[in-house]
Chains A and B, each alone.
Chain A
Amino acid sequence: MPTRRRALLILAALAGLALLSIALALMVGSVSIPFNEVLASLFGSESGLSGDVVRSLRLPRALAGFACGGLLALAGALLQVLLRNPLADPYVLGISGGAGVGALLAILFGFGLVGVNGSAFIGALAAMLVVFGLAHGDGSWTQTRLLLTGVIVAAGCGAAVALMLSIAPDNKLRGMLFWLMGDLSQSNDPRLVLGVLTAVLLVSLPFSRELNLLTRGTDMAQTLGVHVTRLRRGVYLVASLATAAAVTQAGSIGFIGLIVPHLVRLAVGNDQRLLLPASVLAGGSLLVIADTLARSIVAPQQLPVGVLTALIGVPVFLFLLTRDAQTGR
């Protein structure tokens, strides 16, 4: 039986994991820094090289990674409920496709980092509005219709991305590919994504029991006292904004939004009151760990973190699918 006590215990354990992952990210890299020096740089006045590395390079990157991982996992969990489809992820509705088109256009025209981020965010919002508008057209938006509209918009964005990649000059191609695969190396100010993560979580949590009801079907939720239309619009908006913020910060990092909610659901059950915050902590930790690996495996060279999350994600997800098939799903 779900109790508040059990939820708090699990969340405390996951918060510990999150702190561990961030500590790891601060210690490991091309220069490894022992734990006591990390502490000294964070809370003392360590002013040497390690202080600089921790404070101005690794900490912002780790925090941005945590926020993006948390946002993606939360958006994935919300969309799986909204679409009543365990295979939904934050990108299924074309939001990352829109952001990709925006970002690549900006790179193609030689905008700076701010321009690329701004353009990616505008692209994400545009895709979100198009999908919502088309799926909502006659006021009766079913899960299937929303899903199909999103998939089609995503496919259209994919074609536009492929077109831009094929006409892009060679010197811009690498930057474009890194953006598409997901990359945290440009993260020097995590405050915005952390703010969005906090806001999105605070907005979702009060509705988490209503989300439990939504997984049982819209009519069922309505007769049990949920204002279904309002809730579904809110979930769509919140999940889209979370995805847009994460994608803008770090590009389309795959699989976090798909596998983290699944892993958490397997471990702690499908009660959204626990699932949502637990997904945030687990998704954040996983992305921080993956990013630490991405920049230390072949240091000083960096791998795109999206490649690593996919390399971890694909086998885990295939395992889950075959397991589900065996239990008769």
Chain B
Amino acid sequence: MSSKSPLLEARQLTVGIGAKTFCRNLDLTLRAGERLAILGRNGAGKSTLLSVLAGLRAPQAGSVLINGASYATLGVRKSALIRGWLPQVRGDAFASTVLETAMVGRHPHLDRWGWETDKDAKIVREALAAVDLDSFEQRDVLTLSGGERQRLAIATLLAQEPQLFLLDEPIAHLDLKHQISMLELFAGAARDCGAGVAMVLHEPALAWRFCDRVVLIHGNGHTETGSAREMLSIERLSALYQYPLHAIECDGRISFIPR
């Protein structure tokens, strides 16, 4: 487990559900400071790939290593100190305050009988502030809107302080301002703290702006991996989404518009 091992490494990965294969023999590495976007149509297998990368589901073939070790060798506890996973938002069954909900992110840092200390509370409060929820501490999570829940899930993830962020549609339900601020937050984590970030996105323009590399998942087992500039071409994206696109450039940023 040398420090030169990439944060995330997939070797000859084959992922699928039942008879359907989403990607075949995928090789992928993600190093500290890198940001990777995963793009594809609905049902193409983006979330399934991400959950395999997160160790939640076994691949059909191949292996996933984080910091050079497999999830099985690390165990759930040590894995939780390295990789964090943001699920697509689901409802909560029980009432709880926003602060307590975000506090569960500290779990891997505490021992079996431990209670959260003031230091943990400080980390959690900073995480809530980072997602603009600092005035929501005592609110019941069941009363939050979809976008607020999404930001709370991000705060929980930040409280976990992982090195590797695996994000399943991190900007779902968010308004424009928060879409950009959340993506900037993760870009900042990669730039300033050496985190590795892999995220499922639906907006190629945001992948262009916030990611270095892109994986295109075509849904039939075929995948393409490369730099954002190379992968986010009109031809490739039109083929990926099976819909013709235009590209418009403005102030050095790009926008893709359906014809």
Chain A complexes with chain B: yes
| A residues with CB within 8 A of B | 1-4, 80, 84-86, 206, 209-210, 212-213, 215-217, 219-220, 222-227, 265, 269-271, 273, 327-329
- Interface SS of A by simple majority: loop
- State whether A217 touches B87 (Cβ < 8 A): yes
Compute how far the CA of A209 lies from the CA of B80 in the bound complex, rounded to whole angstroms.
15
Contact, CB under 8 Å: B108 / A225 = yes
User: Do B77 and A2 touch across chains, with their CB atoms under 8 A apart?
Assistant: no
Tell me if B104 is interfacial: C-beta within 8 Å of chain A. yes
A217 to B93: give the CA distance in the assembly, Å.
Answer: 9
Q: Find out whether the CB atom of A209 lies under 8 angstroms from the CB atom of B100.
A: no
Q: From B80, B90, B95, B140, give the contact of A223 (CB < 8 A).
A: B80
Q: Find out whether the CB atom of A269 lies under 8 angstroms from the CB atom of B76.
A: no
Q: A223-B83, A224-B80, A328-B142 are in contact. Are A212 and B93 (CB under 8 A)?
A: no
Q: Known A220-B87, A223-B85, A224-B104; judge A265-B95 contact (CB<8 A).
A: yes
Given contacts A215-B92, A225-B81, 8 further A-B contacts (CB under 8 A): A1-B103, A84-B93, A206-B112, A209-B107, A223-B55, A223-B80, A225-B77, A270-B94
Given contact pairs A85-B93, A209-B110, A222-B56, A1 touches B99 in the complex (Cβ within 8 A)? yes
* Total contacting residues, chain B, CB less than 8 A: 38
- Say whether B79 faces chain A, with CB atoms less than 8 Å apart: yes
Among B76, B85, B94, B96, which residue has its beta carbon within 8 angstroms of that of A86? B94
A329-B55 Cα distance, complex, nearest whole Å: 33
For residue B79, which residues in chain A have a CB less than 8 angstroms away from its CB?
Answer: 223, 225
Q: How far is the CB of A325 from chain B (nearest CB, A)?
A: 12
Report chain A residues within 8 Å CB of B160.
224
Can you list 17 residue pairs at the A/B interface with Cβ under 8 Å?
A1-B121, A2-B115, A3-B115, A84-B93, A216-B92, A216-B101, A216-B104, A219-B85, A220-B85, A222-B56, A223-B80, A224-B160, A225-B77, A265-B94, A269-B97, A327-B140, A329-B142
The interface residues of chain A lying within 8 Å CB-to-CB of B40 are none
B binding-site residues for A, Cβ under 8 Å? 51, 54-56, 76-77, 79-81, 83-85, 87, 90, 92-97, 99-101, 103-105, 107-108, 110, 112-113, 115-116, 121, 140, 142-143, 160
List of B residues within 8 angstroms of A86 by Cβ: 93-94
Q: Which residue of A lies closest to B85 (CB)?
A: A223
In the complex, A216→B85 CA distance in Å?
13
Q: Which residue of B lies closest to A226 (CB)?
A: B76
A212 and B87 within 8 A (CB): no
Given known A-B contacts A217-B90, A265-B94, A269-B100, A224 and B143 have beta carbons under 8 A apart: no
CA distance A119 to B234 in the complex (A): 72
Among candidates A222, A270, A327, residue contacting B143 with C-beta atoms closer than 8 Å: A327
Q: Are A225 and B143 in contact (CB under 8 A)?
A: no
Task: List residues of chain A with CB within 8 A of the CB of B93.
Answer: 84-86, 215
CA–CA, A215 and B107, complex, Å: 14
Q: A219-B87, A220-B87 are in contact. Are A2 and B116 (CB under 8 A)?
A: yes
Q: Which of B90, B92, B101, B105 contacts A224 (CB 8 A)?
A: B105
A328 to B92, CA, bound (A): 13
Q: Are A225 and B80 within 8 A (Cβ)?
A: yes
B95 and A224 contact, CB distance less than 8 A: no
Closest to B112 in A: A206
Q: Chain A: which residue is nearest B92 at the CB level?
A: A216
CB distance from A31 to the nearest CB of B (A): 45
- Closest A residue to B96 by CB, please name it: A270
Q: Could you tell me if A225 and B116 are in contact, using CB atoms closer than 8 angstroms?
A: no
Query: Bound complex: CA of A321 vs CA of B99, how far in Å?
Result: 25
Whether the pair B110, A223 counts as a contact (CB closer than 8 A) is: no
Known: A217-B87, A222-B76. A1 touches B56 (CB 8 A): no
- Given known contacts A224-B80, A328-B142, A269 and B87 CB-to-CB distance under 8 angstroms: no
